Every structure is written in structure tokens, then in C-alpha cells.
């Protein structure tokens, strides 16, 4: 029975990822989840008390996987600059991934304070990965610089998500250049 519940919960999370990546937070409704999974709407409420609870669960499941991929890319890099480049490139490479699109849609959504706090904490973990590399390069305020760098990454993510005029690789190169050289060109 427990295995069946786990399968249904996984199916609900997968449906939530699809709905978020297709239509953003507005698309994530309990009737839509019920339709996607073939479960009764009342069954959806057995697993999650609210949309925010679905979002929190997605963050708890997907964000660590995503962060581990970023961390692995950084671990393979030699030197601080290469680690920073890997930090930017690996996040932007994940843009097409449904898990990533769900996290982006979630970040943009109106969520309750608890869900927002969980997302902030997860992002904090991501940001802390790059602080050491920035300190190694001699930044006086590596934590602040890391937060601003994540802002550049987030802007590049949105640009790629929007299907901007530039190719994703061009956006990635520009984000890496900004991360490594600022606006000095």
C-alpha cells in the first residue's frame, strides 16, 4: 500500500512539473492535477493540502538534484574562474529541463511565506557554492557578489525561457562574460 501511495505521489509531482512548465503557476490547479493523473480531486487533497504544499514538495525533491548537477560541474573545473563559469553555464544548460522550468515557474509564482522561505533557502545553498571561488579571486564581499551573480544567472534564465531573439548559447556566453569581467566588456 505504501508503495502505491509513493507511486501516486510521484505521478502527482510529475503532473505538477508538466503543468508548471506548460502554463506557469496558474496552470497548477487541483482539478488539472486530478485530470493529468486520473485520480479523483479528493485524492489529490489526500496528498497535498494546497498548491503551496505541492510547490514545497517539488522544491524539496527537484532543487537538490538540480543543485547537485551544478556542484558536480563546478567540482570538475580547475581554478576559481573556471568554477564560476561552470556555475553559470550549468544552471543555464538546465533551462530546457522540466524540473528546472518548474522551479523557475515556482519562483515567479505567488506563494505563501513558508514556500517562499524554502525556495530562498534552496537558492542560498546554490549561492554559497560560488562564494569560495569569488573569495579566491579576491572579492571583498564574496557573498554579496555571489547574490548579484545569481541575479545575472536568473536574468539569463528568463531571457532563454522567453525565447529571446538571441540564441541560448549567446545569452550563456554573455552571462559568463559578465560573471567573469563585469561590464568592462
What pLDDT, in 10s, does the model give residues 48-97?
998 888 888 887 888 888 889 999 999 999 999 999 999 999 999 988 77
In order of 7, 96, 165, 171, 185, the CA distances from 168 in angstroms are: 35, 10, 9, 5, 19
> In sequence order, what DSSP letters do the residues of 155-174 get, joined into one string?
HHHHHHHTT-SS-HHHHHHH
Residue with cell 525533491: 61
Q: What percent of the chain has pLDDT over 90?
A: 48
Instruction: Tell me what pLDDT residue 144 has.
Output: 94
Looking at the chain, the whole-number percentage of residues with pLDDT higher than 70 is 89
For residue 157, pLDDT beyond 90: no
3-class SS of residue 34: helix
- For the segment 126-146, what is each residue's pLDDT rounded down to a tens digit? 888 899 999 999 999 999 999
Report which of residues 91 and 26 the model is more confident about.
91
> What letters, b where the CB count within 10 A reaches 16 and e where it falls short, cover 3-23?
eeeeebeebbbebbbbbbbee
Amino acid at each position: 500500500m505504501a508503495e502505491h501511495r509513493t507511486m501516486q505521489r510521484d505521478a502527482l509531482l510529475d503532473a505538477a512539473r508538466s503543468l508548471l512548465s506548460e502554463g506557469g503557476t496558474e496552470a497548477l490547479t487541483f482539478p488539472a492535477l486530478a485530470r493529468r493523473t486520473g485520480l479523483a480531486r479528493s485524492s489529490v487533497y489526500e496528498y497535498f493540502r494546497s498548491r503551496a504544499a505541492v510547490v514545497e514538495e517539488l522544491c524539496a525533491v527537484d532543487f537538490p538534484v538540480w543543485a547537485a548537477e551544478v556542484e558536480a560541474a563546478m567540482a570538475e573545473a580547475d581554478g576559481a574562474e573556471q568554477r564560476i563559469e561552470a556555475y553559470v553555464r550549468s544552471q543555464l544548460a538546465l533551462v530546457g529541463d522540466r524540473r528546472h522550468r518548474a522551479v523557475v515557474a515556482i519562483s515567479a509564482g505567488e506563494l505563501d511565506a513558508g514556500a517562499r522561505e524554502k525556495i530562498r533557502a534552496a537558492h542560498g545553498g546554490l549561492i554559497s557554492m560560488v562564494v569560495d571561488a569569488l573569495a579566491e579571486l579576491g572579492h571583498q564581499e564574496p557573498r554579496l557578489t555571489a547574490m548579484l551573480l545569481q541575479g545575472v544567472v536568473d536574468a539569463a534564465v528568463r531571457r532563454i525561457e522567453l525565447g529571446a531573439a538571441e540564441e541560448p548559447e549567446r545569452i550563456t556566453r554573455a552571462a559568463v562574460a559578465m560573471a567573469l569581467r563585469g561590464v568592462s566588456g
